[in-house]
Structure 1
Amino acid sequence: MSRLELRNLNKTFTPKVIPVKDISLSVEDGDVLSLLGPSGCGKSTILRMIAGLEQPTRGQVLIGDRDVTNERPGDRNIAMVFQSYALYPHLNVRENLRAGLKLKKVPTDEIEKRIAEVSEILGLDDLMHRKPGQLSGGQRQRVAVGRALVRRSDVFLLDEPLSNLDALLREHVRADLKQIFSVQKAPVVYVTHDQTEAMTLSTRVAVLNNGYLQQLDAPEQIYNHPANQFVAGFVGSPQMNLFTLACEGNYALLGDFKTPLPDLPTMPPQIVLGIRPEHVYLTKADMTATLKGKVFLVENLGMHNLVSVKVPNAKGDPIVLRLLLPPELWANRELSLTLVPEELHWFDVESGDSLVRQ
């Protein structure tokens, strides 16, 4: 088994175009690492440098004990699954699975053994004689994954493999991939801009923005303890509420209410408060109201309504707060709301970094 390591990886196209800036991370055996971020953040460029399709400007790529930075893609023993499937249209499923192994001159009996194993894992037995044009999108994606698995590579790379699928099929194939990853033990690097894929498939998530690594952690840590304001706003659906608030003594001024600040070395004049919609509660008899506001927008999400509330603010325009509530008639209602201090996130106004270390 292998270990993938990136050391101070940098890619510079021009002085103003630097998609990857000194990225260092490692992916262990059995580890599924998702590179998550918006378009242009550098995640696909990192994947291409691991694969050998792009040459780093600086830094190293190591697989096991080998420095493969300057090796050709074919010499790295990696397998890659592309967004476009990249199947041979004139070959059937069995021939597509066999093609890469024949080029490597793997013995015929070994080829058939590997194909049988992968076919059982992916449920391809009934599709072996079909060509890609006779397959659905999800079936083609499973064949593309199977072609990577039969190679028994040191590292598996997947570049947004589900982005061409419709929402329902994407959910089904995502569940298939999670089971596949749990069976094979080689390091997996999975590129996606879809946070649901990253959170459900990964053992760890690397959040990227503008070429920099923002946070590398387990999915639950990324969600519950974001390292900075960018991670807090990017991960989570519906998006976290983020407000820049004035501070007065040991309190932040939220609308006409005061919210206690965490223990900080020095109290800043302003602070950024983050609250996830599911952590805003209707005030009950045993709770103390934190703020009050009027509903002005209700969005039906099925199991929940995403309710937008305008909170009066004596110092300017109303603050708009979004929260999740059970399906009811909420329009134009006045709500009394409660925030729990342990579920609030606090960020520095200048740097965006979290002010509460976990």
Structure 2
Amino acid sequence: MAQLKLENLKKQFAPNVIPVKDISLTVNDGDFITLLGPSGCGKSTLLRLIAGLEKPTNGKVILDEKELNNIPPGDRNMAMVFQSYALYPHMSVFDNIASALKIRKIPPEEIKNRVSVVSSNLGLTDLLNRKPKQLSGGQRQRVALARALVRKPDVFLLDEPLSNLDALLREKVRAELKQLFANQNKPVIYVTHDQTEAMTLSSKVVVLLDGLIQQIDTPDRIYNQPANKFVAGFVGSPQMNLLNLECKQGSALLGETIIPLPKGNESLSEVDLGIRPEDITLATENHKITVTGKVLLTENFGRELLVSVEIPNSNHFLRILINPELQWNENNIKLALNPNKLHWFCTNTGNSILSGINN
């Protein structure tokens, strides 16, 4: 059983350049952990620290109770898949896949057997004699994955491996990846800024910002119980509505609408309210929290419409998802907010006031 641990990991390149500030994380066999965050948040640097391509300024990388800080990349038994595929253009597919095994002086017959099994699993058997220039983008990506899998490493590291693929091919390869690594039962650390990849592939998502972990949780909890305003706004498409509201007498004010604050927070003078577009509907008489506004913009997504609604007397607008078959008055559209789907955040810290985090 392989277990990878990061203890207070930090990487500093210059006094004001600290892409990884203080990261602690444990990844067990079978875990598919995605590092998710915007460009510059430190996710690729963190992956390079794990692989040994960078040395940490502080902290430790530990695999099965063994510290790896001073062990070179080639001796860590980790397989890394890069964004650029990194295939040898003069080698055949077979030789690209087998290259790491040949360096380790694995017997030729075992190399042949390993390559045969991995190639069959990835649909590369008929391509083994081709050169990379004769392959499509999806085929090249599978060759890069095969080269990692054939090594039978202790840990898999993947750095945005699907970013060079077009949208339809990315969806196909993403599904293949999920099934492929489910059968490996090894720790997998996957770097991406694409939240769809993170939410569909991962057993847990690590959301990063400015070199610090914002939340570690299952995809479901990341989406439905964000720890702070950054996570709430970064995860989800269309983006969550986030409104800074004035509070009076234990309620937040959205235009003419009064929304009761969560218990224990009635003394707040202002608060940030979040609600996802899919959690707002056209109002009926049975809805408790309703708000009226004017339609500013309608975007057709085919299956649904994304409608931007201005709320009078508030300097706010809400984006909502509506079935195209429904009818409404553009100048006086009445909306209902699902009271069970409201997210509340401390204005000063951005932390959820319902998550138990100090705010």
Instruction: Report the Cα offset of residue 339 of structure 1.
Output: 1.1
Q: 1:95 to 1:331 in 2, by over 3 A?
A: farther
* 3-state secondary structure, aligned to 2:243: strand
Instruction: Report the Cα offset of residue 265 of structure 1.
Output: 5.0
User: How is 1:157-236 mapped onto 2 (pairs within 5 angstroms)?
Assistant: 157-236=157-236
Q: 1:282 to 1:331 in 2, by over 3 A?
A: closer
The CA distance in 2 between the partners of 1:194 and 1:218, in whole Å, is 16
The CA distance in 1 between the partners of 2:110 and 2:66, in whole Å, is 26
Instruction: Report the Cα offset of residue 264 of structure 1.
Output: 2.0
CA contact (8 A) 2:344 2:352 kept: yes
The CA distance in 2 between the partners of 1:273 and 1:288, in whole Å, is 17
The CA distance in 2 between the partners of 1:255 and 1:224, in whole Å, is 26
CA contact (8 A) 2:82 2:159 kept: yes
Q: 1:263 to 1:286 in 2, by over 3 A?
A: same
User: CA-to-partner distance for each residue in 1:301-357, whole Å, 9 max, x for gaps?
Assistant: 1211110001112xx53x110000112476835211111221000000000000012
TM-score computed with the length of structure 2 as normaliser: 0.96
CA contact (8 A) 1:246 1:269 kept: yes
Structure 2, gaps ≥5 residues long: none
The CA distance in 2 between the partners of 1:292 and 1:27, in whole Å, is 48
The CA distance in 2 between the partners of 1:289 and 1:217, in whole Å, is 30
The CA distance in 2 between the partners of 1:90 and 1:66, in whole Å, is 37
Structure 1, gaps ≥5 residues long: none
* 3-state secondary structure, aligned to 1:180: helix
Residue equivalent to 1:295: 295
The CA distance in 2 between the partners of 1:202 and 1:233, in whole Å, is 19
The CA distance in 2 between the partners of 1:15 and 1:275, in whole Å, is 39
Residue equivalent to 1:324: 321
The CA distance in 2 between the partners of 1:300 and 1:225, in whole Å, is 28
Q: 1:39 to 1:268 in 2, by over 3 A?
A: same
User: How is 1:1-358 mapped onto 2 (pairs within 5 angstroms)?
Assistant: 1-265=1-265, 267-288=267-288, 290-313=290-313, 316-317=314-315, 319-328=316-325, 332-357=330-355
Aligned amino acid, residue 212 of structure 1: L
User: CA-to-partner distance for each residue in 1:20-67, whole Å, 9 max, x for gaps?
Assistant: 111000111000000000000000000000000000000000111211
CA contact (8 A) 2:52 2:73 kept: yes
Q: 1:72 to 1:330 in 2, by over 3 A?
A: farther
Question: Greater CA deviation, 266-275 or 230-239?
Answer: 266-275
Q: CA RMSD in A?
A: 1.3
The CA distance in 2 between the partners of 1:243 and 1:170, in whole Å, is 34
Q: 1:333 to 1:169 in 2, by over 3 A?
A: farther
* 3-state secondary structure, aligned to 2:303: coil
Aligned amino acid, residue 238 of structure 1: P
CA contact (8 A) 1:174 1:197 kept: yes
Aligned amino acid, residue 85 of structure 2: Y
TM-score computed with the length of structure 1 as normaliser: 0.97
* 3-state secondary structure, aligned to 2:221: helix
The CA distance in 2 between the partners of 1:331 and 1:296, in whole Å, is 12
Aligned amino acid, residue 176 of structure 2: D
The CA distance in 2 between the partners of 1:105 and 1:195, in whole Å, is 40
Instruction: Report the Cα offset of residue 112 of structure 1.
Output: 1.6
CA contact (8 A) 1:2 1:64 kept: yes
Instruction: Report the Cα offset of residue 288 of structure 1.
Output: 3.4
* 3-state secondary structure, aligned to 2:84: coil
User: CA-to-partner distance for each residue in 1:252-301, whole Å, 9 max, x for gaps?
Assistant: 00111101111125521100000000000111243235111111100111
How many residue pairs are counted as aligned between the two chains?
355
The CA distance in 2 between the partners of 1:27 and 1:159, in whole Å, is 17
The CA distance in 2 between the partners of 1:124 and 1:3, in whole Å, is 31
Aligned amino acid, residue 140 of structure 1: R
User: CA-to-partner distance for each residue in 1:78-120, whole Å, 9 max, x for gaps?
Assistant: 0000000001111111111111101001112211221122112
The CA distance in 2 between the partners of 1:271 and 1:188, in whole Å, is 38
CA contact (8 A) 1:297 1:331 kept: no
Percent identity reads: 59
CA contact (8 A) 1:259 1:290 kept: no
The CA distance in 2 between the partners of 1:132 and 1:254, in whole Å, is 58
